[in-house]
Amino acid sequence: MQLGLIGLGKMGGNMRERIRRGGHEVIGYDLNPKVSDVKSLAELVQKLEAPRVVWTMVAAGEITRQTIAQLADLLEPGDLVIDGGNSRFTDDFENEKLLKAKGIGYMDCGVSGGIWGLQNGYGLMVGGTNANVKRGMPIFDALRPEGPRDEGFVHAGSVGAGHYTKMVHNGIEYGLMAAYAEGFELLERKDIVKNVAGAFKAWSRGTVVRSWLLDLMVEALDKNPTLEGVSDYTVDSGEGKWTVEEAIALDVPMPVISASLFARFASRQETSPTMQAVAALRGGFGGHQVMTIEEGDALRRANGSKAPAAKKAAKKAPAKKAAAKKAGG
């Protein structure tokens, strides 16, 4: 099968390679000429045989909308567009409407797998008609993990359902990551626990909390047991926000995912206005000390230095031994 693929970044580039390994022809376009197979969207469309299938893998939002609007002018009736980016599901309704007016089909596909998808395959969540899904199935089969189709692919429903399902997937991901992270901090804080990295590794087989995310945590701790030097500033793709918005709209209680999203917001604040207000209130009703920012920072540093000095020293010892061993050849 022949496919036009727009967007050859970290995921798109690997997807092109995996599809090609599956025996299909992929013509890729990217703004970076070093990785692009063609010089323009127009040339991409010209090189594809009708009826064409074009997959967009670019940043969600305005860039995706502009790309699909351009494709609406370049493609012909009977062609098919698949949006595999992290678009908001409501954008799918508008994209379908725009393309349908010109006789062009549309599907949305939530894609999970990150930079490991080339090796492991991608989890795919698709929204669209049965006919369009059948038409795209050779590409979906090339991208998904090996094994039963329904363990790596789902036709989730009509247009928008694929991105909606991926949105919820990412919301769950937020909660899982936050739970592992909170467990890490608690283990780090307790002085009787000497091998936090080992604890996470021991969970990776035979326990109910084992997962690929846990494997990634183990890998991170193998490289940096205390995560020293890693910034706590955490961004979000927007899908966590959309998940919480949908929970509110549909009256679905979602305390875990909501808390994990708000934790990311908190990570970006150098100073928390919320906690400044709490400190001021404590001073108002109880006469508690209201510290300056400098005094608070000094206290924070002091409390941080108390966190298991012996534990930190114990963790440095193996690192020194490893360094000495490496230096000795």
213 burial via Cβ count (<10 Å: 0-12, 13-18, 19+): middle
201 is catalytic: no
Q: Could you identify the residue written with the tokens 């594809």?
A: 48
**Whole-angstrom distance, CA of residue 5 vs CA of residue 85:** 12
**Whole-angstrom distance, CA of residue 65 vs CA of residue 322:** 52
320 is catalytic: no
DSSP labels, 23-65: T-EEEEE-SSTTT-SSSSHHHHHHHSPSSPEEEE-S-TTHHHH
DSSP labels, 157-226: ESTTHHHHHHHHHHHHHHHHHHHHHHHHHHHHH-TT---HHHHHHHTTTTSTT--HHHHHHHHHHHH-TT
At 315, the amino acid letter reads K
Candidates 96, 166, 239, 315; catalytic one:
166
**Whole-angstrom distance, CA of residue 4 vs CA of residue 28:** 6
**Whole-angstrom distance, CA of residue 225 vs CA of residue 230:** 11
**Whole-angstrom distance, CA of residue 82 vs CA of residue 241:** 24
Look up residue 173 and give its two tokens.
């991901």
Q: Can you give the C-alpha Rg of the chain in angstroms?
A: 25
**Whole-angstrom distance, CA of residue 156 vs CA of residue 127:** 6
Q: Specify whether the CB–CB gap between 158 and 127 falls below 8 A.
A: yes
Candidates 17, 43, 47, 173; catalytic one:
173
Q: Catalytic residue numbers?
A: 166, 173
